[in-house]
Amino acid sequence: MNAWIAACAALCVAASTLAASAGRGLLDFTADEKQRIVRHGPWPPAPALDPGNAVAGHPAAIELGQQLFFDARLSIDGTMSCSTCHQPLLAFADARKRSQGRQALDRNAPSLWNAVHERWYGWDGAADSLWAQAIRPILHAHEMDATPRHVRDTIARDAELACRYRRTFGHAPEDDAEAVLVNASKAIGAFVGTLVSGRTPFDAFRDALAHGDTKAASHYPLPAQRGLRLFVGRGNCHLCHLGPLFSNGEFGDTGLPFFVRPGVVDAGRQRGIELLNLSEYNLSSRWSDARNDAAVTMKLKQLAPQHRNFGEFKVPSLRNVALTSPYAHDGQLATLDDVVRHYSELNLERLHADGEQILKPLRLSDGERADLVAFLRSLSDPGATTWQPARLPRCGVKP
């Protein structure tokens, strides 16, 4: 009897050990799969600066930008700041389907993490720099509804802001209110440009795989590995969500409805291109510090709206994606499972007829959907919702 009890105990221990290790191991990734996986790194990437912004990277500009980012006085009635829609505790998003300004807005607020590494800004790409993107909500009637004069006066009348403005730009806020607006936005762009998120469980796996460290790679959960295999394989997700940022930085039609309200549609990228070309603040404008740099302005040269751009929206980065629900340009997909289900059951009749069609219904099983979600969850930095603003000493110089 004692021997039988001992044998049963041994079996229980073995079963317990097996259950504990069931989530570990390493799939037999092919050389091609490994190559596709490794292309999604390394992280962090090489530093980048906000284009057309001469103060990008300057400590004084970053400090001024941080203060302005959280200052509701920039809005016309003192009720909204940039952080109203881009909240640090929500991964610099706001968890709303459509953001709320002075009026309900038409789109979902994207996260600002890693924005400095993007190519275009806004769901329609109507801005080509962080500083130009910062100007739009400040002036937009449905958001902060400010004027250049209001921004100028807010900074000039506050000793701390005026001092930091002088430290950043070498002079007091000028009488030219539009110049102050642009400079304030460049400071905000400099601050947002510092928001680069940390490493994720995927990054540790990617690096281990690249270095042939199978022991370290086997710590990455098997469901996430299976989801990753789908991502770079049958799902073809990597064709749009590629590179260290998990985005090609461009725009696509994903087969989602783009109605704003009955009788009104969101034209997406098509309208964004029109607005960018008309903008007084694009990288070719007089306000751009890179207007004479062909390497910076080249992307605008042949940018013209086409029929295929109607209803296209920016391919978002998937870094920290598990922290920024709901999803899509207007938040119509509530969870990551809803996103994966959308691509699994894609209605091809909703896609544009022109252009290269790379999307096809994936017809995923419940288990495959769960694996893909497990992989997407592994792309989040645990510190992306615990960021705290730097404690700044008072500027201490009278304007």
pLDDT score, position 354: 59
pLDDT score, position 355: 54
Q: Residue 189: name the closest of 346, 341, 300, 69 by CA.
A: 69
Residues in the chain, pLDDT under 70: 1-23, 353-356, 397-399
pLDDT score, position 8: 36
The dihedral sign for the CA sequence 233, 236, 242, 244: negative
Q: How distant is the alpha carbon of residue 14 from its chain centre?
A: 45
Return the structure tokens found at 42.
């390394």
**CA 301, CA 294: separation in Å to the nearest integer?**
9
3-state helix, strand, coil in the chain (%, to 5): 45, 5, 50
